Structure 1
């Protein structure tokens, strides 16, 4: 007999027909049972008018409950919870090939050891699976209000460290009332800005009635895929959860077998000698501390800033906090090719200081031009020119998406999927790169800490594009 605290297993019927059911939901792009696609924009605008949202920059001295430690200079909350801003020293010895211009650097980093929940609830209406999505304000979002998962909460949130209201629908993802689990995996956050941060990505199918609360709506997968083609609408947390959905293909016809692919990943992890050390934030080289910012002396990379927030529909309606603010718009892209009729994408084994396991598979290009403009041609990553100079008919997908708005301010990247040929991207790619099928990438995502968050966003966009173009 199962313990009441354990999730109920998938029923055979649900497991056997899940890909077909998801395909049915993906095909329902124009009209959902609950909300027509043409009515979504007015609905979101109305939710924005219904609540008070405001974000103001403030000096560090005006942070409430946050302070710099006298000895280390680390910035932390008095509760000891939420997160802290510390220093990081990263050394990569040898720089085997092509992984960046610096083998040794210092930087601020966010340390948030607790594991949060990013969860989407699924329920059938008239035989079509719908996804429960939330209009959620995050202080770092350029447009504040974006479409988030059903639950997007840190442990501090859902255990009510902040003494705020209950996290809506959390009971469907923890405890004995959980429904049928479709996906449940730990995934990394941004390895350049978080120190070994993981979130639990979940998709759960409800087995009974689900009340519809304010700021939530039911959408088909097809409707969400349509919204993924719009700028700054589907937030990062939704994109990473969507990437965990099972892929309908089995991965046949891949250039690398699954065993060869896992062996390649293991080899990439083994060949990089990366040493990471947490150090005091105070005095890290080349970073200067001001009244309102901590920033690099050359004005590159990112800044640590502070904000005051008002959000009428959050568990806590007002607070202050630090945020990381990147410098410049990023360019993030997959090159794609077909081999023997089978689509592949070109992944890059990326080293980022905050990863748990040295490297994760990222996009072909993941690059912020403003950070490397001073290096000229030598600072440009492989394949960047192929992406930026692609003809319009080769760009299969393009949209601007913001990164995690709860920790990053105005962090945006131009996400692209670009068709390539042998001259642009050879079948035998340079060291550190490999061609994989979308099905193989999805399989790795289901194991966690294999594909970085930018790669997972592009996987969700790739799936949306495949359906849109079908």
Structure 2
């Protein structure tokens, strides 16, 4: 038979479509081998072959790219959302707690905005105070996959969030806090959530706790899951089956794939780790050493009277007018579990930058990761992209991040840009939080020697680290999902 697939011939080049003659039958060679009882065989090599086949099918199988774009446009037109900025006094179900001044929900659930006092032993600023989101419950981010016509497909959701700069983005099959999927909001149930709560172990492809932004969340974690289902699971109205290649293609479009989908995609299983500049044991030793030697003291304090921050009727903002502010919004949406609500959001003051430098060392692609301290991390440090920061926030501060941001244009001009898009962060908690994400392949002139606090790691080594919790931060995970879309 003939199968039309698109082969990515080299990083940074346009995909080339071709018709491939194949003699195998998809039902025999691509469908997962089973026992006599229909239980899926979890063979790592076979799974890699199935994922690779799905990644090559960038023109679609169950849904063509043209059909997808029409479906997405239809969902954008159908899902109406109106978001208005309001004063804190107009929040419904939210209030500033007596004594502490913390911004809390009447139910005691969802999340709260509290104050944090931070002391660190490294960096240009060693002590500060800030508002931060505290959300103790663990959310669920899950993608359902199934085979259609012999090719793995991902069930993606068209979802509007109040903080998205463009309204609708592609999200995981399930994206919900525990308060949402247990019905604290008294709204509609979350579709497909029971598939994850009652999944058989042999159908789990990935299951790991990962962090969110350590600068804005205090020890927040989500359960990132990927599970495989059978043909009994169909796509609902706001859902669409796409191949991995189609999803990866969407990653190149500004604000198309949301942060939660990117982090789950980064957790897709990959090949066994190879040896690079560093062995896996050396990388783990370096990470653990950084977690053990750095002193980071955090103390949750009241939001009222937070040094350096001022609360007005409309915002909680820094006295210098930088970093971020806490605002309130009124949301009206016809496609969510509830049709209307109010809530606080964090609004950054400028566009961030997250850049990953990659280099071929001994013919093997390596990425340069940094051990980064953020006050909200559970384990003191996580690995971040090579460069991560907001130029306006670091312009007045001496140190590495300011110098990196200033030098990035030169590095970009001298290297080869594999990826460059503006992506937004989690729209359920942040208002128009945008960052320019870049992957730059540097040449032989870029030093192989690792600066203090940095390590080279291969993509299989990073994939291996992502099987474990709290090693890579959410910005790095987004870039790893994008890197696979460039080089796989």
Contact 1:88 1:276 in 2 (8 A): yes
User: Which residues in structure 2 correspond to 1:271-310 (within 5 Å)?
Assistant: 271-310=293-332
Q: CA deviation at 1:379?
A: 6.8
Shift in CA distance, 359/160, structure 1 to aligned 2, threshold 3 Å: same
CA contact (8 A) 1:335 1:387 kept: no
Distance in 2 (CA, whole Å) between partners of 1:76 and 1:55 is 20
Displacement, 1:280? 0.5
Deviation at 1:387, TM superposition (A): 2.7
Is 1:205 aligned to 2:233, yes or no? no
CA distance in 1, matches of 2:392, 2:155: 38
- Asked if 1:64 is matched to 2:92, the reply is yes
Pairing 1:134-283 to 2, within 5 Å after superposition: 134-175=157-198, 180-248=203-271, 250-283=272-305
Q: Deviations over 1:286-321 (max 9, x none)?
A: 000000100000011000000000111111111000
Aligned to 1:4: none
- CA deviation after TM superposition for structure 1 residue 11, in Å: 3.2
Could you tell me which residue of structure 2 aligns to residue 3 of structure 1?
A: none
Contact 2:274 / 2:461 at 8 angstroms: preserved in 1? no
Determine if contact 2:211/2:219 at 8 Å carries over to the other structure.
Answer: yes
SS in 1 for 2:273: coil
One of 448, 460, 463 as aligned partner of 1:442: 463
Say if 1:179 and 1:206, in contact at 8 Å, map to a contact too: no
2:433 is matched with 411
**Following TM superposition, by how much is the alpha carbon of 1:337 offset from its aligned partner in structure 2, in angstroms?**
0.4
Q: SS in structure 2 opposite 1:231?
A: coil
1:11 aligned to which of 40, 55, 67:
40
Equivalent position SS for 1:374: coil
What is aligned with 2:15?
none
Q: CA deviation at 1:87?
A: 0.3
- C-alpha RMSD over aligned residues: 1.7
Output one character per residue of 1:404-446: Cα deviation in whole Å (capped at 9) or x when no partner: 000000000000001123543x222111000001111111111
Shift of 1:382: 4.9
Cα deviation, 1:322-349, whole Å, max 9, x if unaligned, reads: 0000110111011110111000000000
User: Could you say what secondary structure the match of 1:12 adopts?
Assistant: coil
Instruction: Give the 3 Å change call, closer, same or farther, for CA 379–18 of structure 1 in structure 2.
Output: closer
CA contact (8 A) 1:171 1:178 kept: no
Query: How many aligned positions are there?
Result: 451
Q: Give the match's secondary structure for 2:255.
A: coil
Partners in 2 of 1:452 and 1:407 — Cα distance?
17
Match of 1:456 in 2: 477
Alignment partner, residue 20 of structure 1: 49
Deviation at 1:392, TM superposition (A): 7.7
Secondary structure of 2:216's counterpart equals coil
Query: CA 1:213 to 1:63, structure 2 compared with 1: closer, same or farther past 3 Å?
Result: same
Residues 350-370 of structure 1: per-residue CA shift (max 9 Å, x gap): 000000000000000001011
Counterpart CA distance in 1 for 2:464 and 2:364 is: 16
Note the alpha carbon deviations across 1:358-392, whole angstroms, 9 max, x for none.
000000000101112233x6474454344322128
Query: What is residue 111 of structure 2 aligned with on the other side?
Result: 83
Which TM-score applies when normalising by structure 2? 0.89
**Aligned 8 A contact 2:187 2:338 in 1:** yes
Alignment of 1:37-56 (within 5 A): 37-56=65-84
CA distance in 1, matches of 2:95, 2:39: 47
Mean CA deviation greater in 383-392 or 277-286: 383-392
Matched, 1:119 2:142: yes
Measured against aligned partners, the alpha-carbon deviations of 1:144-181 in whole angstroms (never above 9, x if no partner) come to: 10000000000000100010101000111002578700
Aligned-partner SS, 1:70: coil
What's the counterpart of residue 130 of structure 1? 153
Q: Is the 8 A contact 1:244 1:442 kept in 2?
A: yes
Shift of 1:44: 1.3
More displaced stretch, 133-142 vs 378-387:
378-387
1:73 aligns with 2:73: no
Task: Sort the Cα spacing of 1:382 and 1:353 in 2 relative to 1 into closer, same or farther, 3 A.
Answer: same
Runs of 4+ in structure 1 over 6 Å off: none
Q: Cα gap change, 1:212/1:356 in structure 2, threshold over 3 Å: closer, same or farther?
A: same
Whole-Å separation in 2 of the counterparts to 1:277 and 1:10:
49
> 1:84 Cα shift?
0.1
TM (norm. structure 1) is 0.93
